[in-house]
Amino acid sequence: MKKTSAAMLGSILIATSVLAGCGGKNENNAASSAAAGTASTSATGTASAPAETVTIKYYNWDNEIAEPNTKKLIEDFQSKNPGIKVESVSLVPGNSVESMKKLDVMMSSGEQVDVVQYSNIDETMARAAQGVLAPLNELYQKDNVKPDEEYYINPKYNGNYYATMYTATDWLIMLNEDALKAAGLEAPPYDWTWDDFRTYAKKLTKGEGNDKQFGSYFHTWGEYANPIAYAELKNPYLTADMQPAFNDPSFAYFFNLRKAMEREDKSIQTYSDVVGGKLNYGTEFVNGKAAMIMTGSFLIAALADKAKNPHTFKTVFAPMPRSSKDVEPGLTSLGASYVAIANNSKHKEEAYKFVRYMSTEDSARTDLSGWKKTDTKSLLERLYGGNADLIDLPSLTAVLADERLRTNATTDISASYQNQLKKVLENGYSSFILDNLSVEEAQKRMMEEADKIIKQNAK
């Protein structure tokens, strides 16, 4: 599959902390395997150990699930690079947000920091703008690596690359197979639209009261306020000339679609219930309260964990719907986690070798890759081939490995304050649905708030 860059987030928990999901595609399995070997050699080399061993520190938020895989990754890297020792430090296990806050303090206080992990593009770009990350241009050039040919997203600021894509998160649709069968529905076609999605949700809705099964579920994040903006626009918040994008027609369309599904069709939980009940999107799906859900591929690992997320139905997968039949099918949102090198690191070349290795090595990976040459089909088979009772691998592979899967978003249009603009979108939808604003008034307020943020950051 071929993708362009994107700007999104992607990670949260269901019963455990399921962080930063997955994507990576491949056109030729044999060629991919050969390319992987080449990249690993390029990244690690085969030189003998230097006189002194260099120790680099890698900061992350590994929990008890991720830690063993990071340990294996480090052991494999060290065996191929005997002159480099990697120390993994999990700052706040299972919590990327608090880990990034703690890391900011450490980096400003001068503690040794070499390699850092960030959970999304907005946080990565903010640190690049602050000057705490090292530019990668010279390191890439020295290694004869062309990042735009290697990774789906390459965070750039003022013409410099500042991070390497580690994981990728494709947004897709998950459906309860039992609910599909009960409603007499086939899995959605690849070229379906959001209007089709609404029809599916109505047909999947059944029951009343506490026993009601809703056709779908929308969470409170910006991605759920207007997924079209994340998949089909160049940037979900900004235009090419760095002006607010909230007057795009897709915002009015999707705000009204959600309102109709909530109040006319009654096929989704009300926004007030989602907020008031502090509902979790993953829990609603696993417990059978929602028969269909839009989410990132990071949730797949939680579905496969029978012990922590017990359920009996199989999950079927479909691509994100398109905004209309005039749009070519296959557009999606693409989120990612990134690894970067601290600007004050004294071991940048050694840190780069580790960054390059971890972004191209799949043997210890528990999620999908942001490296274009990954053999996605083989990785999916390794990760989920043993969960045939819970994960419909054919439909998952068909979504994630399809050549048409792509995104229009690009990091060429990006800003360090995008996390503030995302909040504008979330607050805008909240006011629209709770305060009964017209969609025109909601868009006007969002445009005004976004304009203030843009002007404040221009000073």
**Does the pLDDT of residue 10 top 80, yes or no?**
no
Under DSSP, is residue 392 helix (H, G, I), strand (E, B) or coil?
coil
- Asked if 281 contacts 217 with a C-beta cutoff of 8 angstroms, the reply is yes
Q: How confident is the model at residue 21 (pLDDT cuts 50, 70, 90)?
A: very low
For the segment 420-434, the average pLDDT, to the nearest whole number, is 97
**Does the pLDDT of residue 306 top 70, yes or no?**
yes
> Rounded CA gap, 280 and 284, in Å?
6
Residues 189-222: pLDDT tens digits?
999 999 999 999 999 999 999 999 999 999 999 9
Sign of CA dihedral 186, 187, 192, 195: positive
For the segment 358-371, the average pLDDT, to the nearest whole number, is 89
**Average pLDDT of the residues of the chain:** 88
Closest by CA position to 325, among listed 226, 215, 189: 189
For the segment 30-40, the average pLDDT, to the nearest whole number, is 35
Residues contacting residue 3 through CB under 8 Å, at least 6 positions apart:
23, 25, 152, 334, 372, 405, 406, 407
Residues contacting residue 323 through CB under 8 Å, at least 6 positions apart:
193, 194, 228, 232, 250, 253
The domain 170-332+411-458 is classified under which CATH number: 3.40.190.10, 3.20.20.70, 3.90.228.20, 3.90.700.10? 3.40.190.10
Q: Which of 29-38, 285-294, 309-318, 356-365 has the lowest mean pLDDT?
A: 29-38
Q: How confident is the model at residue 51 (pLDDT cuts 50, 70, 90)?
A: low
Residues contacting residue 127 through CB under 8 Å, at least 6 positions apart:
104, 118, 133, 162, 340
Residues contacting residue 15 through CB under 8 Å, at least 6 positions apart:
282, 283, 302, 305, 308, 309
Give percent of the chain with pLDDT exceeding 90: 73
> Rounded CA gap, 207 and 202, in Å?
12
**Does the pLDDT of residue 223 top 50, yes or no?**
yes
For the segment 230-238, the average pLDDT, to the nearest whole number, is 95
Residue ranges of domains in the chain: 12-168+334-382, 170-332+411-458
> Rounded CA gap, 131 and 369, in Å?
27
**Does the pLDDT of residue 428 top 70, yes or no?**
yes
What is the structure's pLDDT at 409?
80
> Six-digit token pair at 166?
């580690």
Residues 68-90: pLDDT tens digits?
999 999 999 999 999 999 999 99
Residues in the chain, overall count = 459
Closest by CA position to 201, among listed 269, 251, 253, 283: 269
Under DSSP, is residue 322 helix (H, G, I), strand (E, B) or coil?
strand
Tell me how far CA of residue 151 lies from CA of 101, 334, 374, in angstroms.
Answer: 26, 12, 10
Closest by CA position to 22, among listed 281, 301, 220: 301
What is the structure's pLDDT at 15?
33
What is the structure's pLDDT at 29?
34
Residues 436-459: pLDDT tens digits?
999 999 999 999 999 999 999 887
Residues 108-147: pLDDT tens digits?
888 999 999 999 888 898 899 899 999 999 999 999 999 9
For the segment 408-417, the average pLDDT, to the nearest whole number, is 82
Q: What is the CA 1 to chain-centroid distance, rounded? A: 17
> Six-digit token pair at 87?
């120390």
Under DSSP, is residue 115 helix (H, G, I), strand (E, B) or coil?
strand
Closest by CA position to 401, among listed 374, 383, 364: 374
Residues 315-348: pLDDT tens digits?
999 999 999 999 999 999 988 899 999 999 999 9
What is the structure's pLDDT at 19?
32
* The domain made up of 12-168+334-382 is a member of CATH 3.40.190.10: yes
**Does the pLDDT of residue 41 top 70, yes or no?**
no
What is the structure's pLDDT at 448?
98
**Does the pLDDT of residue 186 top 90, yes or no?**
yes
**Does the pLDDT of residue 25 top 80, yes or no?**
no
What is the structure's pLDDT at 414?
81
